[in-house]
Chain A
């Protein structure tokens, strides 16, 4: 299985909205609604922010949302805030009952 494809970097100004894409195949992203997204700050463990199409863990802001179309999932962050800066990773369950991560996207808040 190959890593999912994410843009290496995205940026936005405070208050703006940004979208990060996560492209896979019909064997992973396209196979199920089982994509989750993680935020990671430097030196910290990843934090689950959204899973399985707009399911947010308790305490995660509703500024985070996701969607999926075919073999591509997308994470949208609205009302960008300085603390949103960091790395974002998608991960998908696969038809082989394993998981595969994306290559990660560095978000810069200008």
Chain B
């Protein structure tokens, strides 16, 4: 059974760096074809794809946010970390991490429960 869980601060001040951790089980990020992505959703608004890291450390970022995002993995800890620099109130959102596997198609079949982050002074 695949599970993912997001963790991090619930409140961040503007301009600070937000660091979120996705801790997962049921798969290994060293398995070829496996990836973990981050998606966010501002309150009452649409989903936004942010970033993805693959088993081979290949990284993909949302073009409009690329300069502010960094995604890394710690395979031994079964964790993926997303950092968002220079935060702004518009970054207030529920942040989700999600699993994908190339052999299962282009979708993200498993998601964490999400963590709400508020950016406010």
Chain A residues with CB under 8 Å of chain B are 1, 3, 32, 34-36, 38, 40, 45-48, 51-52, 55, 57, 89, 91, 93, 96-104
Contacts and interface: CB of A to CB of B under 8 A. Distances in A.
Interface of B: 37, 39, 46-49, 52, 60-64, 96, 105-109, 111-114
A91 B96 contact: no
Nearest to B112: A45
Nearest to A47: B111
A45 B60 contact: no
Contacts of B105: 34, 36, 51-52, 55
Contacts of B52: 98-99
A40 B112 CA distance: 13
B62 A52 contact: no
A48 B112 contact: no
